[in-house]
A and B are shown apart, each in its own frame.
Chain A
Amino acid sequence: MSSRFRNSFVAIALLALVCGCDRDRQEPRGKPLGETVPMAAAPDTIFPGGGRPAPLDARAAAYEGNAYAIAQGQQLFTWMNCVGCHSHGGGGMGPALMDGKWRYGGRIDQIVASIANGQPNGMPSWRGKLTSQQIWQLAAYVRTLSGQARKDSVGARAETMSNSPPQTQTIRKPVKPADSAQQ
Chain B
Amino acid sequence: MRRILAGIVAIVALAVIVAAVLGAARPRHDALATTDYGSQSPAKAVPAADASPPDDGNWTMPGKDYASTRFSALSQVNRGNVGKLQVAFTVSTGTTEGFEAPPLVVHNTMYIVTPWPNTVFALDLTKPGAPAKWVYRPNTAAAAKGVACCGPVNRGAVYADGKLFLNLLDGHAVALDANSGTELWRTQVADIQKGETITMAPLVAAGKVLVGNSGGEMGVRGRLTALDEGSGKIAWIGYTTGPDKDVLIGPDYKPPYPKDAGKDLGVTTWPPEMWKIGGGSVWGWLSYDPKLKLVYYGTSNPGPWNSQQRPGDNKFTAGVFARDIDTGKVRWFYQSTPHDLYDHDDINEIVLADVPGPNGQRIPAMLRPSRNGFFYVQDRRTGRVLSATPYSYINVYKGVDLKTGQLVRVPGMEPQQGRVLRNICPASPGAKDWNPSAFSPVTGLVYIPHINLCQDMGISNANYIAGTPFVGADVKMYAGPGANRGVFTAWDPIARRKVFEIKEDLPLWSPALATGGGLVFYGTMDGWFKAIDARTGKLLWQFKTASGIIGQPISYRGPDGRQYIAVPSGVGGWAGAIVTADLDPDDPTAALGFVNAVKDLKKRVAAGGVVYVFALPK
Contacts and interface: CB of A to CB of B under 8 A. Distances in A.
Contacts of A11: none
B275 interface: no
B220 to A, nearest CB: 13
B590 interface: yes
A92 interface: yes
A81 B469 contact: yes
Given A160-B474, A161-B474, A78 B143 contact: no
Interface residues of A, number: 31
Interface string B460-493: 1011010111110111100000000000000000
Contact of B463 (A79, A93, A96): A79
A90 B590 contact: yes
A134 to B, nearest CB: 14
B460 A78 contact: yes
Contacts of A101: 582
A84 B470 contact: yes
A165 B471 CA distance: 21
B463 A90 contact: no
A53 interface: no
Interface string B580-600: 011111111111110100000
Contacts of B593: 162
A95 interface: yes
A87 B463 CA distance: 15
A120 B476 contact: no
Contact of B143 (A89, A120, A163): A120
A98 B584 contact: yes
Nearest to A78: B460
B146 A123 contact: yes
Interface in A102-150: 120-124
Given A85-B468, A87-B589, A163 B146 contact: no
A94 B146 contact: yes
A91 interface: yes
Nearest to B151: A93
17 contacts: A81-B468, A85-B146, A87-B589, A91-B581, A93-B146, A98-B587, A99-B582, A101-B582, A120-B143, A121-B142, A124-B467, A124-B468, A160-B474, A161-B419, A161-B459, A162-B588, A163-B420
Interface of A: 78-81, 83-85, 87-96, 98-99, 101, 120-124, 160-165
A-B CB proximity, top 7 nearest: A122-B146, A161-B458, A84-B469, A90-B587, A90-B590, A162-B476, A81-B468
Given A81-B465, A163-B588, 5 more contacts: A84-B468, A84-B471, A88-B474, A90-B585, A93-B149
